[in-house]
Each structure stands twice: as structure tokens, then as C-alpha cells.
Amino acid sequence: MRPEDVYALTGVADPRISPDGTRVAYQVWWIDGEANEYRGAIWVAPLDGGEPRQFTSGERRDGSPRWSPDGRWLAFTSNRGAEKTPPQLYVMPVDGGEPRKLTDAKEGVEAIAWSPDSTRIAYTMRVRDPAYEEEDDAKRAPRRVTRLQYKLDSVGWTVDRRKHVFVVELAAGEPRQLTQGDGEHDDPVWSPDGKRIVFTGLRGARWDVDLIERLYVVDADGGEPEPLTGEDASCTMASFSPDGSRIAYRYLPEDGTYPHHGQIAVMNADGSGARLLTTALDRQCAPYPLAREPLWDGERIVFTVEDGGNVHLYAVAADGSAAPELLVGGEQVIGLYDVCDGRLAYTASTYTRPMELYAGAEQRRLTDVTRSFTEGRELVEAERFTAASRDGTEVDAWLVRPAGFEEGKRYPVLLSIHGGPFSQYGTGFFDEFQVYAGAGYAVLYSNPRGSSGYSEAWGRAIRGPIDGAGPGWGTVDFEDLMGVVDTALARYECLDGERMGVIGGSYGGFMTSWIVGHTNRFKAALSERAVNHLVSAFGSSDLFWVFERQFGGPMYDHVEEWLRMSPATYARDIETPLLIVHSENDLRCSVEQGEHLFTLLRLLGKEVEMLRFPAESHELSRSGSPRHRVQRFEAILDWFGRYL
């Protein structure tokens, strides 16, 4: 894979089974290189096999297919129309015809859900303050901020654009806004009788500080929402049982510390009788970013689980009478999924194949969308191995050999570090590793302590150090990563230990900056969208202050500890040539984090450069402008090419 092959990427997303269980609708996405845009179309395939057919035009970006319960309509979102049109809600007859536009707003439609009688659709959308009617920023009124949650990465200003729940009639009429006020609302779901809507909400006097998501219920015709869950956990993504008596949902304990595994829970429809169903797994049951609500399939509930770099499908008895059961496993990452009367559809990816559509526990592949990308390119399988950390701890790790690998030849090495830290590198397709391998590098990656996908104790191993619960960032995680390098160099003769680079983004960028401040064994480094100065990030990020729950205390009471964990503190010790990559619209790790370290290193006479991408967020490498993604890859290969 070469940098320009970003334009050839494609895949399948968001499968939804028809109410009669015979067909599955899904999105096929691709990149229009000439327009520098992402495109998408809705397709429909027979669930038992057969030729898929394209359902929508895909002239822009169609997505989120949703069958009406009576099987007559498909709803979807699309940004078709004028340039920069946000996604709007459309419906189209299943048997053919013209799509009908149900919304015409200045903000995008999200999280759409049909009413049980197929006459209404609930959705969420941001609501703009009237000040936005003034298009000249120099004349617009100032924003009055009273909440910590006033901006959000990849979304922008939210203080005057709160997300609310709406309902629109299929027949006609203006959408009705069901929720009001200064809060955030998401993921509406209808009760089977169509009288109520349950949604996830951040509401109340301290919602922006406590960040405890609760499930609320509101009358479908309007009224004041009532909470169904309390303040001991964040409860999200509800799903009604077919008879309407119970609700399944995702549950995350809120005890003031972080991280915890997300669990699957069930309660009665009135909020009573809550019980957890998945604690026996001791695994993360809330994968990010591809996740949907737990799904009812008769008397069992289907959900996904992170497990050692994989994402698998599980089912558990809704009454808790049996332990969770593996439905689909193997060396793969399962994305989104759907079930209907025992029938299963899901997307999945492997090391060398982006997301395709599959059916059933027997893993029948229904699509071949990515052949256009995989054919004619040498994509490299990763090799899993076990590394030993300094204290003997075993760490899951992988090696991706260079494309065109030749026995007896020694290759430069890139150590890649994931973000989070409570996330995992997986066994699915990752364009970064394939581009580096295509350029002749051997790639090492791993899930050190602090990662998800393993026991909760593994994920909490780098908590602290303020509360004494653990050693904090840059301790055993650093030792694990160095252990991965040491084990790989001893095991694989093809790796050239004299030509090693290190790269990472977000927390992986933190670790990259930290590593070069604590060892000179790497010849070059690239720190991307990193948090480099924890004290300033506390106030400049959209939510970095929340990491006081992982560190054990807030910055203002523990400035020295926050500084001690900041890579910028060790700038004098950095001798490795460093490229700092940052997006100018990154609200998660503000561009000042890159500027801070660059300024320090330049004043200290170190070898440093900064690469700034305009109009991009924290998600540049995953969903940024295709042209910028190509330019980013070119810059990475140029930087490491100079030194390795």
C-alpha cells in the first residue's frame, strides 16, 4: 500500500436486517479522490446469498439504513444537494421509487429510529442558537459559556448547539422537538407500544461536571422526561425487549475512578430490578468506536466484546441464568451487527481485508466490496507473539513484515503505539501498518498495560500515581513497550535494532514524546496529536480534565504530579529527532500541546519540526480530508526515510 492508495479505500458498514429476515441493507462507502470527499450508497443483499443490488444513488454520502417495521420503507441519511449540506433524513419505498426528504435543517440528522407502527421516526439533531443566523462572525454575538462541555472534538462549538430528540411524521409535517434545555441527548428508542421513547441524556445541574449519562423516558407526544437510572453508573444505548417489559443497555460504573469495563445490563421498563449480565467475562463489552445498543434475540441479548486485539460477538441469557456465550470469534474485528429472529448479519475485518458483510455464526461472506482495493496489492498479515516486560509480565504484540520481505535481509523498524490509553490495537485491517510495510518497514505494535481488551486490572494498571492506586502513565506501560522491542529484536533476525523509529497518536503521541525523553535508542520519532503538557491540557482540551479520575486527583491540587507525568518536563533530555504532527482544529489535544513541545525543543536547540494540518480535528488519520490523509502518510515516510 502506498500513501495515494488512501483514495482506493472502501468498505461496508451498518448492516440492518429486514423485518421478515430475508434481506440486509447496509452502506458501501468509498472515496472520491477528485472531489476529495467520502461517498456512500445503501445496498440491499439477500441474507441467504445472492446478488446484492444498489438501493440509493450514492451521488454524495448516503448512510444509516433503517427498515420500517412493516417492511415497506427504508429510511436513511444523506447529504445530497448543495455543497456542505449536512445529512438529512430521507425515506424511500423498498420496492422502488423516489426518495422523500423528511427534514431540511442546518444541522445533521443522527440516530434515527422508526416507531413500531411505521408512521413516525425519532432522531437526534443539534439545535442552533439564533445567533447563527448572523453569518458574519465579526457581527455575531459572543458565546456565553456556563458549562465545561462547551466544545467537542470533530463537532465544534456545542454550548450554543445542544443535541436534542425529535420526531417527524412519515406522512408530512414539521418535526417536533421532544427534549429541551441545556443538555445533551442521544440514541432514542421506541417502546413496542409506540407510546414512549427512551433516550440517553446528560441532564441536570451538574451534568457537564459529573458526566454521568442516564436513561430517560418521555411520552412520544411530548412532556417532561423522567430518569430511569441513577447516578451510580453511566447507562446508555437502550433496547426494549419485544414485549416491552424490560430494557437492555450498556452500563459503566461511576465511582470517581477510571477506567472500568463497560457491561451489558437489563432492568424492568420502569427502571427497577437492574442486573449486570457480563461481569463473568472480565472484558470490555463496550467496544469503541464501532458499537450499537445490545440487541434482543428472543430471550437472549447479543453484543460485542474486545478480547486480546479481537472484537467478537457474544450472546447472554436476558435473565442471567447462563454465562455469556461466544457466537463469532477468531482473529478478526467485528464491527456493527444486527439480529432478527435468530438471523445474524455483521461486518468484520481481518489484517488484510477491510470491513465486509457476513451472515450467521458460520461466517458466510455476502459481499466482495473490498476486492477492488485488495487485488493487485501485497497486503501483509500480522504475526502475533508474546513479549516479556521488565518485570516478566507477558504482553500481546504483533509484527508486520515489510511487503516483499526477503529472508536474510535486515529491515528498519517502526514501533507504533495506540491511543487511549484504554483502547486496543486490533486484528482488523489498519491502513497505517500496510503503508509502513509497503514502504519497507517492519512494524511492531502491542497492547501494553493500560490497554482495553484484557482484564479490568490490566486496563487499570497505569492508574495513579496521586491516589496510590498505581504508578501512573509512563511507567509499566513504557517498560512493556520496551519489552516488546527487546523481545522482537531477540526473536526476529530480520529487525535492524540500529534503525528504529517510534510513532504514536493521542496517548500514543504522549508515549512517543515520553519515550524519547527517557531513552535514546530510537533514531527518529513522530509524536502526533499528543498531550505533551498535562497541566495546560487540563484546561485547553474539550475533556482532558476528566483524566483526574485516572491520575487520582485534579491538576489544581497536584500540579507537581501532573508536571512529573508531562513529556514536556523532560524536553532537555530529548536527543532523538522529533516530528510533531498536529491538527489545528483538534479540540481533544489542542494544537497548543504540539506548539508547547515544539517551542521548548527549538529553544533548546534540538532537532525538531512541526507539521500542522489546517481544518482537521483529532480524527485526521481516520476520517480527515482524504488529501490530508495522503499528505500525512507522505510526511511520515519522508521523516523516517531521512533517518532510517
Q: CA 121 to CA 135: how far, in whole Å? A: 31
CA dihedral over 495, 496, 497, 499, signed as positive or negative: negative
Q: Which residues pair with 344 in a beta bridge?
A: 339
Q: CA 497 to CA 113: how far, in whole Å? A: 54
> Please, are residues 342 and 298 in contact by the beta-carbon 8 Å criterion?
yes
> Please, are residues 182 and 204 in contact by the beta-carbon 8 Å criterion?
no
Which phi and psi (to 5°) does residue 460 adopt?
-95, 10
Task: Give 224-263 as a DSSP string.
Answer: --EE-S-SSEEEEEEEE-TTSSEEEEEEEE-SS-S----E
Cβ neighbour number for residue 12 with a 10 Å cutoff: 28
Q: CA 12 to CA 406: how far, in whole Å? A: 34
Question: Which residue's entry shows cell 533548546?
Answer: 604
> Please, are residues 398 and 415 in contact by the beta-carbon 8 Å criterion?
no
Q: CA 469 to CA 177: how far, in whole Å? A: 45
Q: CA 69 to CA 335: how far, in whole Å? A: 24
Cell of 522: 530510537
Cell of 425: 490495537
Cell of 391: 518485570
DSSP 61: B
Instruction: Please name the amino acid found at residue 29.
Output: W
DSSP 298: T
> Please, are residues 15 and 355 in contact by the beta-carbon 8 Å criterion?
no
Residues 6+ apart with CB under 8 A from 5: 373, 377, 435
CA dihedral over 45, 49, 50, 51, signed as positive or negative: positive
> Please, are residues 551 and 562 in contact by the beta-carbon 8 Å criterion?
yes
Active centre residues (catalytic)? 506, 618
Q: CA 613 to CA 401: how far, in whole Å? A: 30
